[in-house]
Structure 1
């Protein structure tokens, strides 16, 4: 039997999600699978009909984890479970859904396909980052999307020096700097005019945020490099700067602090129903134009009358 033990993880405090989780749990039980509810999910939804497990217990016992929520829920689950090599399936109960790519209305059929072994998979990389002050490590965390260095809300631009594998690359003044995985290239990095990296590309994208010099442009780097950012100046002394590892923040950066980022040792395996297309996801989520099909007139969508 494929995936004999399946863990369910849901977005916390999301109205109506308990019913979807219970329906999915019933489907899995009917298919002969043992069901575990992630402990915080159970506590926040009031579900008591199934055994609960911490992330470490899920890593030890589960052969598959299904996440219902938005991309933020998937980011957190992926970071906690990546070291255990538990594959993940994402069902979208949020707004965007780049990595929670299965529509809620199609979830039952998609999960049935996965349980039958009819799925596609892809490996996604993680980032491992540390905040260092002299010889001391002040903070360390992993990120599925990106590591972001940013100025304080009311502070001025920050000045930073960037080196790659010990070689000096640039000194710049900007509101911040984004280091993103291919998965994260469609998140903050994209809004800062960075390129989209296909998940199959072994690269990282480095994107300045509102740089003072327009010649400071995004660059794609090999995924096996080490990037070190040294804070030269954090603007006004009382303002400071922050480092963000996905949704995890270290907000006590001062001049001469260093943020060191490299690819993490483990990866994340995402499962999709057969027919999954990354390009279809981009078209849908980014509203990319399509060529008019036969029967459309003058590039307009026949159903809506709007430009295609």
Structure 2
């Protein structure tokens, strides 16, 4: 849905070999100075020969109404590239929504870590120019489809790119969880919670809880207990095609988080079912991108001699 007609002039000329001609910008509009940053990037894309649109909330909150303002379905239907100007949280939010449309995403980092928004704002012009002309690495990322079941009925559904986290409430007591994988009983676990993370999410909460790093090409999941009562209860890597079910056995005020961006409260007997989504997120990185370069820079590993 377009809120406003485009009042900018058309691009002066279509650049030769332009791989992406209609680009949508999604900005971290809550950040100070975001309006100027989004406007600068939009001007750059226009000068490169692209048609430029803004995601609806980005347009409304920055006041940049000279560009068409599109909602997510309209971006999915009309645009052939989405450019996220912000941090990983911004990418997570829009990535879950756009994955179903197959629109690839590029991230310009205005956040702190930037594991998946990996182009520094200070060097975006050169890198984005190359991507627009077809020089890039494509990096598919699996998503999770999660649902909460109560008395045989689905009461909540969500998609996650990073993780699904079952947590205890604020009281100082553990929760007990019954865990099944593909219908097979694994264990009853007493802990502060449980994380089920994708390879993308293996560098997020899962890492803080002692989980392993998973290379994105693996496509598997990692199941990580949070402060388990039994010390032998360790993280386990699972194949991506499996289904994980977690039932709340006991504990107060339990909840389930999905990418830490949506939340639902849980009752005893509720089952959280997690399976692979039918959709895949398409991330684009500059040519020559390496996952290990990202880890070394973001985790401050010793670079050696």
TM category (shorter chain) comes to: over 0.9
Q: Could you list the per-position Cα deviations for residues 259-297 of structure 1 after superposition, in whole angstroms to 9, with x for gaps in the alignment?
A: 0000100100111111211101100111111223xxxxx
Q: Secondary structure at the match of 2:189?
A: strand
Residue 277 in structure 1 maps to residue 290 in structure 2: yes
Provide the C-alpha distance between the structure 2 equivalents of 1:44 and 1:153, rounded to a whole number of angstroms. Answer: 34
1:14-93 map, 5 Å: 14-93=31-110
Return the TM-score normalized by structure 2: 0.93
User: Following the alignment from structure 2 to structure 1, what is the Cα–Cα distance between the partners of residues 265 and 286?
Assistant: 43
The 3-state SS of whatever aligns with 2:165 is strand
Range with bigger deviation, 242-251 or 196-205: 242-251
Deviations 1:221-280 (A, max 9, x none): 00000000011102xxxx310000113333321111000000100100111111211101
Unaligned segments of structure 1, at least 5 residues: 293-308
2:152 is matched with which residue: 120, 135, 139? 135
Which ranges of structure 2 fall in alignment gaps of 5 or more residues?
1-17
Give the number of aligned pairs. 288
**Displacement after TM superposition at 1:219 (Å):** 0.1
Aligned to 1:228: 245
Query: 1:143-185: per-residue Cα shift (whole Å, max 9, x none)?
Result: 0100000001225100001000000111110000000000000
- The reply on whether 1:168 has 2:181 as its aligned counterpart is no
1:187 to 192, 204, 211: 204
Deviation above 6 Å: which 4+ runs of structure 1?
none
Counterpart in the other structure of 1:147: 164
Matched, 1:12 2:29: yes
CA RMSD of aligned residues (A): 1.0
Partner of 2:9: none
Q: Secondary structure at the match of 1:189?
A: helix
Question: What is the DSSP-based 3-state SS (H/G/I as helix, E as strand, rest coil) of the residue aligned with 1:243?
Answer: strand
Q: Distance in 2 between matches of 1:76 and 1:267?
A: 14
- Structure 1 residue 14: Cα displacement: 0.9
Equivalent residues of 2:170, 2:253 under 8 A apart: no
